[in-house]
Structure 1
Amino acid sequence: MDAKSIKEEKAEVEIWQYIFGFTPMAVVKCAIELEIADAVESHGGAVSLPDLASAVACSPSALGRIMRYLTHRGFFELKESTNQYANTPLSLLLLKSGVNTIAPLLVMEASPWMLAPWHGLSASASRSGGSGFKAAHGEEIWEFGSHNPAESKLFNDGMACHARRAVSEIVEQYGEVFEGIDCLVDVGGGDGTTLHCIVEACPWIRGINYDLPHVVSAAQWVLHDWSDDECVQILTKCREAIPKETGKVIIAEAVIVEGEEDKYRDVKLALDVAMLSHTEKGKERTIEEWDLVIKGAGFSSFTVQHIGSIISIIEAYP
């Protein structure tokens, strides 16, 4: 088989992954809703299909097909000796009350109102621009959340889940970023989860949560939601508010590193397209783009610390 034929054959196989690209999210969401991982844990870490079907109130036949797919994707392990299912590191991330659960974030992203803007991605990329979220729902996500309490809670739960994981990674990998800080203002702190986690890990810090009025939580004012000009305005206000000699602004965001190996590159690029779909001007930035924004806000210098996570830590100094 010549090289061209090999590439064509690979393309024929690969394109099917895109045709059914929604399947992994849908099936994993199903597993979360049925609390399959929790049921396995409650049975001592291993359970037969009939017992699992009984526990989650499902048809054994239908559940067997779902478990076959999830096992194929590495979410569960089928032990041949006992014909029982066991959890794996992947499925443990779906536990309802797990310390490292990512279930609320996945359920949020898989919700119909968050998926709808993706269908308007081509419109978002057009010259006329605009937000895919607004095209789908008639208003931007911030306004939408203010009068849709159920969806707002789903959003807050997803963001709180992400915040807990992110703060844990920051404290573990780069805890020194909080050394010497007496007072910390979380700009766009949502329901306060991020600040609570930071103060819990660093009890000497006095925390101030700042966000929108409705339950102080509908919108996470993180910088990737905003245009470069808006980021400059936000950061300028932050710079003006901190002590010139001892203050700093800590930015925890995904940083796209061009030309370097990064195990989270696919996720960061997906986040960037998510910003294109769900906001009018938001984006994930490269280091060069952060340099323009931070220097444009009047900061004299900044450092970037990659902590082996989706997020990196940027420290900007006045």
Structure 2
Amino acid sequence: MAEITKSHGVNGNDEIAQAQVDIWRFVFGFTETAAVKCAIELGIPDILENQADPMTLSQLSSALSCSSTALFRIMRFLMNRGIFKEKITKEGSMGYVQTPLSRLLRKDGDNSLTAMLLWQNSSILIDPWHYLSARVLDDKASAFVCAHGKSLWEIAAEDPEQRRLIDDAMACDTRTTVGALVDGCPEVFDGLSSVVNVGGGNGTALRVLIERCPWIRGINFDLNEVVSVAPESEGIEHVGGDMFKSVPKANAAFLKWILHDWSDGECIQILKKCREAISEYGTAGKVIIVEAVIEVNGGDKLKDVGLMLDMLMLAQTNKGKERTAEEWAFILREAGFTRHTIKSFQSALSVIEAYPY
């Protein structure tokens, strides 16, 4: 045994030791999400946000009307993950305070991803993960359909509550992403007179965009049942229809997290309709796509989210996937676009600007 251990060398022993640590992350990886979900449901980030001073365990348990014993264990775990932290109170006790991470878990925070986290961890979206191997063994099989007997979009069309959860989840991410896009790449929207948001849901993207770029006229385009319940907003016209058949005319077509749900052929079909919609604007017309761009040779940690999103597509959609720069170039070329650019901004997503001329 001594000979075998020696043959591994120092690096080999380090790898084995790290493997022993890492394997438990896979065995119990779900505990992080479950504990964060618990904190959101209890409203802990919101309670701490509204306190000027650190809250002791006793104060927090009183505010929640709960047992301090179980709460202590939850908070200890979440602090170990960097979600909350401790700070000394004026009285010299230890109290809990917010971190930049926990502020993203406030229910009504500007950059909150709470709705997305709760939706992604609802039973309807968790169940398909148990059928991921079935999808791998039969690429025509859908993990989501295996779990529920129908697609996510079929369920959303039948169940208004599921449609609301989807819209809320998309809206919370959109507020953050579109704001970051306008701040990081303002030139994307320079000189545009009108923008049609294809698959715009309840209109959140256009509300954020027009608030920062008030010269733009917005057209929120989605299925009739979606736009019929979208809130009215100044500068935005809601239009119902089918993006596979036609898209309202505008200076630019904007698509965020739409194309990753579809196969290459379907993406090409959608993009051709977008190209028709901007055609009368000539060289001033363009399509703006906000999606993940998988970096084959790695990338920063934020861009690594793209690989997780690709697993999400595998589990939750029939044909969806995240794409590399080369794969985006292929579908854009096939859809009739002569050139395009890809830009990064402070997001897990990138912005692709595609031009027909």
Q: Mark yes or no: TM-score above 0.5.
A: yes
Structure 1 distance, partners of 2:98, 2:108, is 15
Higher mean alpha-carbon deviation, 38-47 vs 209-218, is at 209-218
Matched, 1:240 2:248: no
Structure 2 distance, partners of 1:228, 1:146, is 24
SS of 1:302's equivalent? strand
Structure 2 distance, partners of 1:42, 1:201, is 28
Structure 1 distance, partners of 2:165, 2:319, is 23
- The aligned residue for residue 54 of structure 1 is 62
Matched, 1:227 2:227: no
Matched, 1:13 2:21: yes
Aligned length: 318
- The aligned residue for residue 89 of structure 1 is 100
Match of residue 156, structure 2, among 127, 135, 145: 145
Structure 2 distance, partners of 1:113, 1:270, is 18
Q: Is the 8 A contact 2:303 2:349 kept in 1?
A: no
Task: Look up the equivalent residue of 1:32 and give its one-letter code.
Answer: I
Structure 2 distance, partners of 1:39, 1:127, is 47
Task: Look up the equivalent residue of 1:150 and give its one-letter code.
Answer: E
Task: Look up the equivalent residue of 1:171 and give its one-letter code.
Answer: V
Q: Is the 8 A contact 2:181 2:346 kept in 1?
A: no
Q: Output one character per residue of 1:294-318: Cα deviation in whole Å (capped at 9) or x when no partner.
A: 0000011111111132111100001
- Unaligned ranges ≥5, structure 1: none
- Unaligned ranges ≥5, structure 2: 1-5, 231-241, 243-255
Shift of 1:95: 1.3
Task: Look up the equivalent residue of 2:149 and give its one-letter code.
Answer: G
Q: Is the 8 A contact 1:120 1:135 kept in 2?
A: yes
Shift of 1:13: 1.3
Shift of 1:123: 1.3
Q: Is the 8 A contact 1:95 1:103 kept in 2?
A: yes
Matched, 1:120 2:131: yes
CA RMSD of aligned residues (A): 1.8
Matched, 1:305 2:343: yes
Bigger relative CO (Cα 8 Å, ≥ 6 apart): 1
Match of residue 134, structure 1, among 124, 127, 145: 145
Task: Look up the equivalent residue of 2:17 and give its one-letter code.
Answer: E
Match of residue 280, structure 1, among 318, 322, 342: 318
Matched, 1:167 2:178: yes
Structure 2 distance, partners of 1:158, 1:112, is 15
SS of 1:78's equivalent? strand
- The aligned residue for residue 187 of structure 2 is 176
Structure 1 distance, partners of 2:53, 2:83, is 13
Shift of 1:221: 6.7
SS of 2:207's equivalent? helix
- The aligned residue for residue 38 of structure 2 is 30
Higher-Rg structure is: 2
Shift of 1:248: 0.3
Shift of 1:6: 2.5
Task: Look up the equivalent residue of 2:46 and give its one-letter code.
Answer: D
Higher mean alpha-carbon deviation, 92-101 vs 171-180, is at 92-101
Shift of 1:181: 0.7
Task: Look up the equivalent residue of 2:293 and give its one-letter code.
Answer: V
Shift of 1:264: 1.8
TM-score (ref. length: structure 1): 0.95
Q: Is the 8 A contact 2:344 2:351 kept in 1?
A: yes
Q: Is the 8 A contact 1:108 1:155 kept in 2?
A: yes
Shift of 1:45: 4.0
TM-score (ref. length: structure 2): 0.85
Structure 1 distance, partners of 2:277, 2:161, is 35
SS of 2:269's equivalent? helix
